Structure 1
Amino acid sequence: MKPQQKRQPIRQKPRQAAKRSETKRVHQGIAIEASLKIGMNVILSIASVTALIKLWPYQEIQQAKLAEVRRAVAESEIRVDQLRNQLNRNFDPEQTKKLMQEQSYRVDPNQRRIFWMYQEQ
């Protein structure tokens, strides 16, 4: 038997050591880049949430104003419909005599006025 020889540590070739350190630097760069991206996204998220919180009351006020304007529009549409109907009636040739009677004291010549008289008993 041969006497046991001490094993000597295997030396790495300079090329392998350089390759490992280069790979390590690449991985560190990727890790730093990913950390920066995550940090920026967190900062942007916090800014967005803060802006939304500050804008919420303004949005509520605008919704209330919008509801008020819609109510006013609905009321105006009702009034416009009434005025449109009245306008159509005023320019309807078949309604001319009736309109004259409503707007003046004159009566159609073919009609007779009726006066109610009360008799005392």
Structure 2
Amino acid sequence: MSAIQRYQTSVGLAEPAQPPSVRVRRRRVPKKQHHRAIAIEAGVKLAVNSLFALVAASTIIRLAPDMRSHQKQLKVIHQEVELMEARVDGLQTNFKRHFDPQQSYRVMQEQSSRIAPNQVQIIWVDSNTQQATIQPPTQNQ
């Protein structure tokens, strides 16, 4: 009964609906047949669930080698990505260095053989093979 019908009944606006006086008789099933039906139902459920478990297990067994090969490929890809990230970081640092106005003079010095007039060029030589000679820079006239 809905809230509106209960309200109408309590106020006296509508008469409550009477359920029909017809009684439904239930047929009794003997206990033995009832237990047999429950046993059959449980057996069918068990068989279906066992079938599902068997299908799931066989699918997992079939997919396991593919999963391993995909994991190996993923590991190789991750290693390559790490190498590329390191390379990109190096290139970005080099790029920033070459286009930094404060370091442009130093970069030009590195890329050419010229040195500033107030600097002396030092060449490191192995002492066992040869004696190092230091020559003063020549003055450009």
TM-score under structure 2 length normalisation: 0.60
Q: CA deviation at 1:106?
A: 5.0
Q: In structure 1, how many angstroms separate the alpha carbons of the residues matched to 2:119 and 2:42? A: 99
Query: Which among 27, 43, 48 is matched to residue 35 of structure 1?
Result: 43
Q: Mapping of 1:1-121 within 5 angstroms?
A: 19=28, 22-105=30-113, 107-108=115-116, 110-111=117-118, 116=135
Aligned residues: 98
**Residue in structure 2 matched with residue 9 of structure 1 by the alignment:** none
**Could you list the runs of 5+ residues in structure 2 that have no partner in the other structure?**
1-26, 122-133, 137-141
Q: CA deviation at 1:72?
A: 0.3
Deviating beyond 3 angstroms after TM superposition, the runs of 4 or more aligned structure 1 residues are 104-108, 110-117
The CA RMSD over aligned residues, in Å, is: 2.3
Q: Aligned AA for 2:84?
A: S
Q: What is the identity percentage for the equivalent residue pairs of Structure 1 and Structure 2?
A: 32
Q: In structure 2, how many angstroms separate the alpha carbons of the residues matched to 1:51 and 1:31? A: 30
TM-score under structure 1 length normalisation: 0.69
Higher helix share: 1
Q: Deviations 1:71-117 (Å, cap 9, x if unpaired)?
A: 00110111011011101111211101111222345555x54676849
Q: Aligned AA for 2:111?
A: Q
